[in-house]
């Protein structure tokens, strides 16, 4: 560090006049109001005497002075508006509550909702139910069979049926060869144990798909002509009148169309998309679950 720079620092420290501080502040302001520091090209008058005493020393190249920057910054901060400190409430001073916050919202005021949350009217769920059921359809229907409930595609539990002394389930069939129509009966407990045992034994191997003996069921033998695999169940076109329990016990749900099977899954809140073997599998498990809610018939 040369002698001139040391004297320059001492001069700045001793200088406290307002005129020189104002000059430094004016030099520190740029065109855009940014803080800049510049030194005069010619050395100050106070330093000329030092240069005269030491002619052999070359004048130093103007350089940035940290001290000038700090003093200029302090001067600008002293002139700027002091920063506002956070307000502190006295312990005895009551809080001010705007009057509009105390007024209850009027009935004509607009309703605000959280951004990003879709608005749902009170009738949204009702419209969804109507869309699911269709126009002019209700959730309840007349019970067309003693083992059927008033809800669509729903049968009573096994406990209810046995307590009401319902031991046999009947349904109509028609022979594909002689076209003879007659009524068949199944023993409730015997056939349900047969179906339930089959599901428990082969459920893991089904992989959520109905096996071939369900998709292409073996039909009963016609009691009129004796033709095997010919007694086809009569399935009414109106899906609400399908005899679901009779088809389950006879393992003839595969005679239903895909549309009829989707109807069952729709009204029992089961997944109803996919191939027929997938929907048929869910129909078998859904009906067994209705008969035995505590049984191992979850999809």
Dihedral angle sign, alpha carbons of residues 205, 210, 215, 219: positive
Dihedral angle sign, alpha carbons of residues 47, 50, 55, 60: negative
Indicate the SS3 state at residue 170.
strand
pLDDT value at position 68? Answer: 45
In the structure, what pLDDT confidence band is assigned to residue 112 with cuts at 50, 70 and 90?
A: very low
Q: Which two tokens stand for residue 156?
A: 């009573």
pLDDT tens-place string over residues 209-218: 999 999 999 9
Task: Tell how many helices (H) and how many strands (E) occur in the chain.
Answer: 12, 3
In the structure, what pLDDT confidence band is assigned to residue 270 with cuts at 50, 70 and 90?
A: confident
- How far apart CA 275 and CA 252 sit, in angstroms, is 18
pLDDT tens-place string over residues 70-110: 455 555 555 555 445 444 555 555 555 555 444 555 544 44
How far does the chain reach from its first CA to its final CA, in angstroms? 88
More confident site: 168 or 77: 168
């Amino acid at each position: 560090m040369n002698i001139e720079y040391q004297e320059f620092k001492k001069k700045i420290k001793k200088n406290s006049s307002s005129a020189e501080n104002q000059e430094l502040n004016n030099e520190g302001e740029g065109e855009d109001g940014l803080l800049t520091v510049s030194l005069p090209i010619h050395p100050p008058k106070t330093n000329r005497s030092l240069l005269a005493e030491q002619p052999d020393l070359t004048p130093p190249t103007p350089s940035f002075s940290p001290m000038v920057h700090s003093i200029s910054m302090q001067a600008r901060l002293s002139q700027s508006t002091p920063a506002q400190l956070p307000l502190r409430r006295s312990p005895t001073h009551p809080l001010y509550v705007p009057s509009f916050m105390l007024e209850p919202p009027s009935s004509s005021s607009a309703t605000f909702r959280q951004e990003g949350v879709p608005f749902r009217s009170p009738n949204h769920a009702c419209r969804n139910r109507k869309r699911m059921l269709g126009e002019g359809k209700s959730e309840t229907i007349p019970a067309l069979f003693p083992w059927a409930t008033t809800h669509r595609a729903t049968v009573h539990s096994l406990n209810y049926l046995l307590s009401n002394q319902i031991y046999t389930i009947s349904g109509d069939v028609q022979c594909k060869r002689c076209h003879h129509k007659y009524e068949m009966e199944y023993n409730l407990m015997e056939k349900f144990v047969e179906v339930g045992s089959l599901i428990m034994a082969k459920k893991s191997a089904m992989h959520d798909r109905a096996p071939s003996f369900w998709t292409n069921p073996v039909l009963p033998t016609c009691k009129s002509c004796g033709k095997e695999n010919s007694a086809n169940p009569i399935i009414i076109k109106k899906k609400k009148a399908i005899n679901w329990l009779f088809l389950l016990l006879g393992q003839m749900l595969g005679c239903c169309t895909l549309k009829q099977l989707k109807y069952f899954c729709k009204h029992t809140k089961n997944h109803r998309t996919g191939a027929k073997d997938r929907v048929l599998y869910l129909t078998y498990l859904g009906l067994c679950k209705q008969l035995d809610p505590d049984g191992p018939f979850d999809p």
